[in-house]
Structure 1
Amino acid sequence: MKRLFLLRHAKSGWDDPVARDFDRPLNAKGKRAARAIGRYLRDEKLVFDRVTASPATRVVETLDEVAAGRGATLAPVWDKRLYLASASALLDIVQDAANDSDSLLLVGHNPGLEELVLLLVPDREDDMTRDEIEEKLPTASFVELRFDVASWDAVAENGGTLGRFVRPRDLDPALGPGQP
């Protein structure tokens, strides 16, 4: 059994005058949301064998805030391939993961992460969670996918099942849309 976890970076600030999209920092709400996800990871006692993350500023800051909420760092491997990666590029990263790990956390961006979920989890009429993700994978959302395979290279389209989908607003309504 392999478990793939996905974390979309928290809400970034569009008001900051940065020259490149890569350098956009989190805004205050994004920092609060990332800390809430960190507390959730701590409370659920979730650990990851490997963490691979985009080196974009908003991802780095997301992981800093997650660590603050969790009370422990995640020690990611920074991989530029995750920056604005497509679902197929993300799948390549997953399939190339070392098989000595059974749980992998990818931290990155949309639309790639959302599209990866839709690629890996079959569309079933009774799967309301997948439908919610298809509607939108909000910033700082956390997703768990499970695969009944022995190696990461066997992870394939429509081969996964959803284990969990947690949005910051599920943890604290003040982190929902339209809230400052």
Structure 2
Amino acid sequence: MLLLLVRHANAAERDPAQWPDDRDRPLTDKGRKVQAEVSRFLRKRDLSPSLVLTSPWTRAVQTAEILVEVALVGQPPVPCEPLARDPDLIRLQDFVGNRAGPAIVALVGHSPWMEDLASLLLGGTGTSVRTDFPKSGVMGIEVERLEPGAGELRFFVRPKMV
């Protein structure tokens, strides 16, 4: 299975007066545009996911919805609470394993947890691999199972590349 780790697109600045709960911050217009470009890039390279799991936070859900629409994914994104914080591989396996074995699965979440998940899959610990994971960035990791150190990096797309 190819996992696409997707960091949510650019969101509105924190403003407790406008969004008392940080989970409610929406994407900016620029964030939407950049995410559409990245999603189009994936589609043109036959990297459209068959399943999109997303943090339930607004900015991640909106990112996932753009990915689904532009990359022509056949089903809506599925909220996945473990992606809202430090991802737990066992809980993620429950979400991924309960689906009909898709070849490409997108996981849409937040920093630093996307970096921590990549580190866990690639190096076996949550902090062994560190990288700048930009908003709307996508890291493709091939895995046979969701276990520490079981992944192999296939690509890393930064929005400036598309």
Structure-2-length-normalised TM-score: 0.82
* Aligned partners of 2:8 and 2:108 also within 8 Å: yes
Hey, what's the Cα distance between the residues in 2 that align with 1:47 and 1:68? Answer: 10
- Distance in 2 (CA, whole Å) between partners of 1:72 and 1:51 is 8
User: What secondary structure does 2:52 align onto?
Assistant: strand
Partners in 1 of 2:38 and 2:22 — Cα distance? 24
Deviation at 1:23, TM superposition (A): 0.4
Over alpha carbons, which structure has the higher Rg? 1
Aligned to 2:37: 36
Distance across 1 between alignment mates of 2:49 and 2:69:
17
Equivalent residue number for residue 27 of structure 2: 26
CA distance in 2, matches of 1:120, 1:67: 24
Structure 2: distance between partners of 1:95 and 1:33: 29
Which of the numbers 136, 139, 152 marks the counterpart of 1:143? Answer: 139
Question: How far has the Cα of 1:3 moved from its partner?
Answer: 1.7
Match of 1:9 in 2: 8
Give the whole-Å Cα distance in 1 for the aligned partners of 2:27 and 2:147. Answer: 33
Would the aligned equivalents of 2:137 and 2:156 in 1 still touch at CA under 8 Å? yes
What is the CA RMSD across the aligned residues, in angstroms?
2.4
Superposed CA offset, 1:110-134 (max 9, x none): 11111111111139xxxxxxx9x72
* Structure 2 gap segments, 5+ residues each: none
Q: 5+ residue gaps in structure 1?
A: 124-130, 172-180
Aligned-pair identity in percent equals 31
The answer on whether the counterparts of 1:7 and 1:107 sit within 8 Å (CA) in structure 2 is yes
TM-score, length of structure 1 as denominator length? 0.75
Aligned amino acid, residue 55 of structure 1:
P
Distance 1:21 1:104 in 2: 26
Q: CA deviation at 1:67?
A: 4.0
Distance 2:25 2:132 in 1: 21
Query: Does 2:122 match 1:121?
Result: yes
Name 1:178's counterpart in structure 2.
none
Cα offset, 1:74, TM superposition = 5.0
In the TM superposition, 1:148-163 aligns within 5 A as: 149=144, 152=145, 155-163=146-154
Within 5 Å, which residues of 2 pair with 1:29-178? Answer: 29-70=30-71, 74-83=75-84, 85-87=85-87, 89=88, 91-96=89-94, 97-98=96-97, 100-101=100-101, 102-122=103-123, 134-147=130-143, 149=144, 152=145, 155-171=146-162
Q: Distance in 2 between matches of 1:14 and 1:167?
A: 21
User: 8 Å contact 1:63–1:74 — kept in the other structure?
Assistant: no
Instruction: Number of aligned residue pairs: give it.
Output: 154
Q: CA deviation at 1:10?
A: 0.3
**CA positional deviation for 1:47:** 3.1
